[in-house]
Amino acid sequence: MAHAAQVGLQDATSPIMEELIIFHDHALMIIFLICFLVLYALFLTLTTKLTNTSISDAQEMETVWTILPAIILVLIALPSLRILYMTDEVNDPSFTIKSIGHQWYWTYEYTDYGGLIFNSYMLPPLFLEPGDLRLLDVDNRVVLPVEAPIRMMITSQDVLHSWAVPTLGLKTDAIPGRLNQTTFTATRPGVYYGQCSEICGANHSFMPIVLELIPLKIFEMGPVFTL
């Protein structure tokens, strides 16, 4: 999860998030080079005596500064499109979890376990135990296995919500009357936090998401739910 004075992104827990971090660093390096080139040109303009102010035509320079930005855009667009299509792939998921957004809590349904349904509310400060995180912990966590493809079916019952877990690289809108889906494969166990990322009313900031990822062998022994 994020911490104070953090500069970079959260550590990746899924292959998609790893790709997003690599693309972020790739685009950031291009931005740094562009900024350096622009600042260098401004510095030369301010410090160099202009001796060729009468020049009004430079075909070679115009060709370079037209083609070069196009090449840069292609270098950014190609990996971006690749990741975009990767996020939409659904390859034979092992589990399907349905998430329904409400004002202001989440409802989860384990469709592969006889339709097990439970609500997940944020823990009030009076119910927090030592080690719990204020405004992030919930009464019922979503327990899922690692190293298994999981499909999330996301919708809403009232207004627009957004189901987002940054460390997994997930952010999918919950829209009333529409069922969106996303998939992920967690690579390491742990407890991971997210929040609703769509302004959905007065208590928008009080509907966190908590995923507890456990080894697949433990999960196969029987569903472990913190109910």
Whether residue 221 is predicted with pLDDT greater than 80 in this model: the reply is no
Question: pLDDT tens for residues 150-199?
Answer: 999 999 998 999 999 999 999 999 999 999 999 999 999 999 999 999 99
Cis peptide bond N-terminal to 65, omega within 30: no
Question: What percentage of the chain carries pLDDT values higher than 70?
Answer: 93
How many Å apart are CA 84 and CA 12, to the nearest integer? Answer: 17
How many Å apart are CA 156 and CA 158, to the nearest integer? Answer: 6
Q: Where are the domains of the chain?
A: 13-86, 93-219
Question: pLDDT tens for residues 39-57?
Answer: 998 888 788 776 665 566 6
pLDDT reported for residue 227: 45
Question: pLDDT tens for residues 131-155?
Answer: 888 889 999 999 999 988 999 999 9
Tokens (6 digits) for 40: 């260098």
**Which residues on neighbouring strands pair with residue 95, listed in sequence order?**
150
Strand ranges, E, within 157-207:
161-165, 170-174, 180-184, 190-196
How many Å apart are CA 66 and CA 72, to the nearest integer? Answer: 11
Q: Given CA atoms 143, 195, 160, 140 in this order, what sign does their dihedral have?
A: positive
Kindly write down the DSSP assignment for every residue of 24-66, as one continuous string: HHHHHHHHHHHHHHHHHHHHHHHHS----TT----HHHHHHHH
Task: Please provide residue 28's backbone torsions phi and psi, each rounded to the nearest 5 degrees.
Answer: -65, -35
Question: pLDDT tens for residues 113-126?
Answer: 777 899 999 999 88
User: What band does 222 get if pLDDT is binned at 50, 70 and 90?
Assistant: low
pLDDT reported for residue 10: 85
Inter-axis angle of helices 15-47 and 59-87, to 10 degrees? 160
For 55, other C-beta atoms within 10 Å of its C-beta total 9
Q: What is the dotted CATH code of the domain comprising 13-86?
A: 1.10.287.90
Domain range 93-219, its CATH number among 2.60.40.420, 1.10.10.60, 2.40.30.10, 3.40.50.300:
2.60.40.420
Q: Do domains 13-86 and 93-219 have the same CATH topology?
A: no
State the number of CA atoms in the 13 A half-sphere of 224 facing the CB: 14
